[in-house]
Amino acid sequence: MKNSAARFKTRNLGFTLIEVLIALLIVATALGTAAKVAIGAATNGSALADRTAAQWVGLNQLGTLKLRRQFPVRAESGKEEMMSRTWIWRQKAEATEIDEVLRVTIDVRLEGADDDDLAASVTGYIAKL
């Protein structure tokens, strides 16, 4: 009886191959998920930086319009460098209920991007002074 009890204790000292494989499968799945999350965060960070730069371009153009004090505002387009990239902006003016105020929308996209692929759109109001 002692002999069989001793043999039973020595058999259960380690992990079986199945247990090790299951543990490796769980670790591999967790690492794969963590890698996907990290890649997604890096991609989102780059897109956020692009949208921020495009918004700055639009706000700069809106500020320039306000400083010019020209009324009415013409439809224009142009290029601007921001964060080592070239941005294309296009502005359009629309009438409002008040004759002395125009709504100006400035659409910004990366140079080379499709016309429909806007990075930002800024809307502001210009008043006749």
| List of domains in the chain | 2-127 (3.30.1300.30)
Please give the mean pLDDT across all residues of the chain.
87
How much of the chain exceeds pLDDT 90, in percent? 56
Q: Is 112 left (phi over 0), alpha (psi -120 to 50) or beta?
A: left
Identify the band that residue 91 occupies on the pLDDT scale cut at 50, 70 and 90: very high
In this predicted structure, the answer to whether residue 44 has a pLDDT above a threshold of 90 is no
Structure tokens at 42: 């890096």
In this predicted structure, the answer to whether residue 104 has a pLDDT above a threshold of 60 is yes
